[in-house]
Amino acid sequence: MAKLSKEQIVTIGVLDERGQSHSATARLLGVSERTVRHHLGRQAAGAVDGRRKDFWIERLGLEAAVAEWWAAQKEFLGSERPPSAEALLAYLREEHDYTHSYKSVLRYVRAHFPPPRLRPFRRVETPAGAQSQTDWLEAVVDVGDPDGPAPLYGLLMQLSHCRRKALIWSRSKNQLAWLHGHNEAYRRLGGVAAVNRVDNEKTAISRGAGPWGEINEVYRAYARSLGFHVDACEPGHPEQKGKVERGVGVIRGLGLIGKRFTSLAELQAYTDERLSAEARRKLCPATGKTVEASWEVERAFLRPLPEVLPEPFDLVRTCPVYKDCSVRFEGRTYIVPFAYVGRQVEVRGCSGFVQMVDPKSGTVLVTYPRGTPELILIKPSCYEGESTDLVMAPKPLGRMAKKLLELSETPVQQRPVDLYAALAEVAR
């Protein structure tokens, strides 16, 4: 006997009520007349199609215990949150030695209790300059590597108002790549939105998740430098950054399948051109104009970029400045401008060098190479300058100290053979 869908079975009854013959109905549905008569007979007898599966909870006689537990949970949780099938399974296993699967409990719950109330989410159109959304996406692209196509990561940032996108490619998702992607995205968007909504990546949220998570210390310092607020989504709520959640669609729109690039830079240039063309073609729902035209208007509401964007860094510390103008970082001593004695500076570990930054203004005070064999690094210019209201300028160098400094800055090959004689001449 042919297997008919529920809609086809209903159709048999409707056509019979309208007086259509069994043979005509059978030809229409592609079944035998016997099948038509069989289903008409079942409908006349009031039979219900499908077999009812037994539930283990009923076989074990646990219906009353489950009903009591469910009622107690509803009273405890209130109307905002339904009881959990997982919690019910844990209760049955602990109290009644239930050995069957979670699915068996879930089937029983769905058959015997009403479904939880739906909670719609609120759609909000953000004003110009208010928000950007940022997330990672991944794609396998041929960028000329000897081993063929390789997985690459793209940092996608989108302005929520005008929908203008920037996609920055990288070979990794580490902290340096995260900040580098932000720099390049902000350059392409022409400014910084007041809030950047992110996922709970470790490069953004170091502990916890969502509004209660702890912002990564490095990312917090970066955000402070550019003047934006970090807003993390709640876990399990992708709709809170729905504009960048459509990463698959972005990749598909770039048409990367079958394309070969000679380098990552060529892929980036291709991506920039495609996204610019898309912005000129697509309409912004919030304005009814093209994304490009809407972006030109929104740029006036974005925070202007500083002349020099922060160098990407993967480690940041707030360090006190001691009386000899030194700070300690990564087992080394660095000298900073004397005016900061008694205060604190922000020390950033960048790729290959260390930056000393004013924590209030974000100004880079001095830069040193990172990870050097030397454990003490000094720039004499840090001791120069006029006194301030709080700190007096260091005493000037004497003749001997000036000569020592001069010798230390002279290449070894050019130094006098007799250093003692040179210093003795000063001491006379």
Indicate if the pLDDT at residue 401 is higher than 60: no
What confidence tier does 408 reach under pLDDT thresholds 50, 70, 90? low
Mean pLDDT of the 397-426 span? 55
**pTM of the predicted protein model:** 0.65
Percent of the chain with pLDDT over 90: 58
What confidence tier does 403 reach under pLDDT thresholds 50, 70, 90? low
Indicate if the pLDDT at residue 410 is higher than 80: no
The pLDDT assigned to 8 comes to 84
Q: Mean pLDDT lowest for which of 30-39, 169-178, 232-241, 249-258?
A: 232-241
Q: Do 370 and 352 contact (CB within 8 A), yes or no?
A: yes
Of 282 and 6, the structure prediction assigns the larger pLDDT to 282
Those residues whose C-beta lies under 8 Å from the C-beta of residue 4, and which sit 6 or more positions away, are 12, 29, 31, 35, 39
Q: Mean pLDDT lowest for which of 51-55, 247-251, 365-369?
A: 51-55
The pLDDT assigned to 50 comes to 54
The pLDDT assigned to 425 comes to 53
User: Which CATH superfamily, name and number, covers 131-301?
Assistant: Ribonuclease H-like superfamily/Ribonuclease H (3.30.420.10)
Indicate if the pLDDT at residue 41 is higher than 60: yes
- Domain parsing of the chain, residue ranges: 6-45, 56-112, 131-301, 313-396
Indicate if the pLDDT at residue 417 is higher than 80: no
The pLDDT assigned to 426 comes to 47
List phi, psi (to 5°) of 327: -130, 155
Q: How far apart are CA 339 and CA 321, in angstroms?
A: 10
What confidence tier does 186 reach under pLDDT thresholds 50, 70, 90? very high
Indicate if the pLDDT at residue 95 is higher than 60: yes
Percent of the chain with pLDDT over 70: 88
What's the chain's Rg over C-alpha atoms? 35
Tens-digit pLDDT profile for residues 301-329: 999 998 888 889 999 999 999 999 999 99
Q: How far apart are CA 199 and CA 238, in angstroms?
A: 9
What confidence tier does 416 reach under pLDDT thresholds 50, 70, 90? low
Residue 17: CB atoms within 10 Å: 8
SS (H, E, C) 6-19: HHHHHHHHHHHHCC
The pLDDT assigned to 344 comes to 95
Q: How far apart are CA 327 and CA 347, in angstroms?
A: 9
Q: Do 188 and 201 contact (CB within 8 A), yes or no?
A: no
What confidence tier does 362 reach under pLDDT thresholds 50, 70, 90? confident
In the predicted model, what is the mean pLDDT of the chain? 87
Tell me which H or E stretch contains 253: helix 247-254
Indicate if the pLDDT at residue 414 is higher than 80: no
Distance, C-alpha 116 to centroid of its chain? 30
